[in-house]
Structure 1
């Protein structure tokens, strides 16, 4: 099948473009909205204080 590699490359580029550009931007915006909610940030900070690496092993 001629040009199959080119076809696969275009499909891959179309599939990975949202992963490279759209999803990181959406994640950044979502994190910015969460940071305004101080209760959630406060609970994360409190949990980090008591976290120990390999605690469950």
Structure 2
């Protein structure tokens, strides 16, 4: 098959470019979202421990 190496190179470039540039950025954003949710839940749990009903009345 003529130009087989060139076709394989194009397929490799198309396949690995997202792995090098797109997926790490998406993983970083997703990790920030997950860690943000965990932190928010932690703050809610800490605030619930010290909350007193009708304390501000």
TM-score bin (small chain): 0.5 to 0.7
Larger Rg, first or second structure (1 or 2): 2
Greater RCO structure (CA 8 Å; 6+ sep): 1
Give the structure-2-normalised TM-score: 0.60
- Aligned-residue CA RMSD (Å): 1.6
Q: Greater helix share, 1 or 2?
A: 2
Unaligned runs of 5+ in 2: 43-57
Unaligned runs of 5+ in 1: 41-57
> What corresponds to 1:35 in structure 2?
35
In the TM superposition, 1:14-25 aligns within 5 A as: 14-25=14-25
